[in-house]
Amino acid sequence: MMQQLLFGILIAYVAGAILYFVGNKTENTQVLKFASIAVAIGGVFNLLLLLYRWNLTGRPPLSSGSDFLLCFSFVTIVMYMVYELKSKDKKAGGVIMVFAFLFILSIFVLMANQLNNAGPVMPALKSPWLTVHVMTAVLAYAAFALAAGFSARNIIKKNDTTNGEKIYHIVAWGFAMLSLSIVLGAIWAEQIWGSYWSWDPKETWALITWIIYALYLHLHRNRNWQGKRANIIVLAGFILVLFTFFGVNFLMSGMHSYA
């Protein structure tokens, strides 16, 4: 059941990406309509899989890498669909759907064994701080993915600057969520390990990511740091977000390795 739902999500998201690219290239509104439908179907499958995992394990689907990616992709899609419905702008849909497709594909490639794991979790993951810490991280990452999609679209379109303020507000909201996630994680760490900060690889790279986005927000009003430079910083921040998750989890040992 879970494998079938995951495969359905993958197909829907890649179909959505292709239809968005084709529809925007040809300016065909009917194709773009089908793209939105494909994304909505994928989002429903994504939600069903999260609910299935919750029912199977008896706990919120937040304690493994595959759970996080399912939440990450779902929240990213929901944020994008809300934006699309409000603005009627579908120009960045293809890039954002490529992100969502790659998140789901990475579960197939790297974490397929986690989907069927419904056993008990280690004591550190039973803390109520886990839910608020991980959910704020999901919200932050999804906002950064959305901003990166718009920035990538700007670069593809030769540094279109028409949505610079929109990207700024999305990053600012994501930055607030990331800051909250770091604070909540520190409280959780103190309760579990007796220290608010231990320079664990995940903590260190989360801090580096925070600094990059803080730099972007600080430089936003500077005319010399708008347009191409601003888009590059947003994309660099999102690359750090991905490294903080994938690179640290799979390449570095630390207290977060269980994720």
Mean pLDDT of 11-19: 96
Instruction: Please report the pLDDT score of residue 199 as a whole number.
Output: 77
pTM: 0.90
pLDDT of 172 above 80:
yes
**Residue 257 — very low, low, confident or very high, per pLDDT cuts 50/70/90?**
low
**Cα 76 from Cα 9, distance rounded (Å):** 14
- For residue 96, which of 110, 83, 109, 112 has the smallest C-alpha distance? 83
* Confidence band for 111, pLDDT divided at 50, 70 and 90: confident
Among 6-10, 13-17, 160-164, 197-201, the minimum mean pLDDT is found in: 160-164
User: Does position 234 have pLDDT exceeding 90, yes or no?
Assistant: yes
Domain boundaries defined on the chain: 1-121, 123-259
pLDDT, position 187: 87
In the chain, what percentage of residues exceed pLDDT 90?
Answer: 54
Task: Look at residue 245 in the predicted model and tell me its pLDDT.
Answer: 86
Q: How far is Cα 38 from Cα 42, in angstroms, rounded to an integer?
A: 6
1 vs 108, residue with greater confidence: 108
Q: What DSSP string runs through 20-79?
A: HHHHHHHT-HHHHHHHHHHHHHHHHHHHHHHHHHHHHHTS-S-SSHHHHHHHHHHHHHHH
Residue-wise pLDDT for 62-97, tens only, equals 778 888 999 999 999 999 999 999 988 899 999 999
**Domain 123-259 carries which CATH code?**
1.20.120
Check pLDDT > 80 for residue 173: yes
Query: pLDDT at residue 174 above 80?
Result: yes
pLDDT at 162: 64
Does 229 have pLDDT greater than 60?
Answer: yes
- Taking alpha carbons only, the member of 180, 12, 191, 25 closest to residue 104 is 12
From the list 211, 82, 195, the residue with the least C-alpha distance to 143 is: 82
